[in-house]
Amino acid sequence: MRSGTTGSTVPQITVSPGATGSGALQINVRSSTYTVMVSAFDPAWVQANVPGQTNPIFAHVLDAGQTQSLQPVSGTLSLNIGASKVSVQVTVGGKVLTGWSYTPTQVPYTLDFLGTSQS
């Protein structure tokens, strides 16, 4: 897991331990509008939740080779992953933020994404 930069010294993504401890990370994206991409290399359970919605916006098994795009609401998305053979990336303006991707080291795993306005 790495923090990535794109053309400046200000990281586009910062990572910190999640509020729930082991098995969770908080991912701060320096953009209020972004997309989370999940790619499966083996079958993987993926569930995405956003604020203000009781039901998940996505809750399915991704088959090997499938990719799912997930849109945060108000910059926030909680991603639950039930397999370790997945890759998670973030895109801003249709471009993948280079220098950062995530593959879980244990399962289940939760990634809490929070978008922030650039200053």
Band of pLDDT at residue 17, cut at 50, 70 and 90: low
Average pLDDT, stretch 76-94? 94
Give the global pTM: 0.85
pLDDT tens, 58-74?
999 999 999 999 999 99
Using a 10 angstrom Cβ sphere, with 0-12 exposed, 13-18 middle and 19 or more buried, the burial of residue 103 is: middle
Give bridge partners of residue 95 from the DSSP assignment: 92
Domain coordinates in residue numbering, the chain: 13-112
47, 79 Cβ separation under 8 angstroms: yes
